[in-house]
Amino acid sequence: AQSVTQLDSQVPVFEEAPVELRCNYSSSVSVYLFWYVQYPNQGLQLLLKYLSGSTLVKGINGFEAEFNKSQTSFHLRKPSVHISDTAEYFCAVSSNTGNQFYFGTGTSLTVIP
């Protein structure tokens, strides 16, 4: 079975500062990794995903994440955040069959003007 841990439930950061949202996973098999963003009262939108290949993945809105197999991590980063980045961020892992997704508990990012 797979599981996802997001260590930080809330992350406040000043505008234009860098941010890192942490995600660790556990799995006995190969997995695919995803980051989703959720704005208030909306569904989830895919930020980026790691399937294979380069461990550094670039997504939308200037976000990137790095897959680290030895540390079983997939941390999300942005070098300079904007007010509009204030949202809930979810890390997810899919099983090797691809039809089951497991979500972390989410990290609430608040960008302070």
Partner 1 sequence: GAVVSQHPSWVICKSGTSVKIECRSLDFQATTMFWYRQFPKQSLMLMATSNEGSKATYEQGVEKDKFLINHASLTLSTLTVTSAHPEDSSFYICSGLAGGGFGGELFFGEGSRLTVL
Residues in contact with partner 1 by CB under 8 A are: 32, 34, 36, 41-46, 49, 51, 90, 92, 94, 96-101, 103-106, 108
Whose Cβ is closer to partner 1: residue 39's or residue 80's? 39
Least separation in angstroms between residue 6's CB and partner 1 is 9
CA dist 42 and 37 (Å) reads 10
Whose Cβ is closer to partner 1: residue 79's or residue 98's? 98
DSSP symbols for 55-89 = SEEE-GGG-EEEEETTTTEEEEEESS--GGG-EEE
CA dist 70 and 61 (Å) reads 27
Whose Cβ is closer to partner 1: residue 31's or residue 81's? 31
Whether 35 contacts 60, CB under 8 Å: no
Least separation in angstroms between residue 69's CB and partner 1 is 17
